[in-house]
Structure 1
Amino acid sequence: MTDGKGVNFVFQCTGSTAAASTAWKLLSDHGGICEVGFFVDNGEAKYNPHFNICMPETKVTGSWAYLPEDWVEATEFLRETKDEGIDMTQLITDAYPLDQINQAMAKNISGTGVKIVYKNNE
């Protein structure tokens, strides 16, 4: 959802520094960004703390090690996007059963999917 200036929430999980830099430009004032896409050092992303965080009063959430409290905050962020009418399931490009974990990891490493999920074989 937007306020006419941009989107209220960005869930950045690509691992791409270009996407991370662009995400800040999409946010509306008082919006939020959740960053969980960098598990290795992919380089630096470009943003301006004054214009991208302080002035628009952006809520920033990030996680690397996934402590229990991180999941609570990320889940709350997803709840807020749902309340705004944003269907985050549209980001899922591929779903694999657990017995195809090697194929799923290969897809992830190739960078050809947006969000890849594992599903129960049943």
Structure 2
Amino acid sequence: MQKTVTVLDRAQWEKRPDVWHGEFEGRLFGTKASVMFYTTDEIGRGPPLHRHPYDEVFIVREGRALFTVGDATLEAVAGQVVFGPANVPHKFVNLGPGRLETTDIHLTEVFVQEDLE
């Protein structure tokens, strides 16, 4: 079966028009890859500790982040990719200086998140 080409305009996924911040679910495209674009200029800011029943891939596009994935803590910088396995608690925060920007790929057609903090 051939899939149709679908285009999602930025206005359909963005939460802030001034930076890359927003999300879309893979179900819009009939696929199991959902994406979150995360941006913060605030040092120490990031998503709370949480987990998903699917794998997640974090691409650090700008800045420096301190990741906690399970029992591991690591610093990641622009250009690096961090893998978060399914059901493993994880979080990250902006280490600064300056902006942190990530693209987070959730290997699912819909977002499911259990916050732990």
Short-chain TM bin: under 0.3
Higher RCO, Cα 8 Å, sep 6+? 2
Structure number having the greater strand percentage: 2
Structure ID, larger Rg: 1
TM-score, normalised with respect to structure 2: 0.26
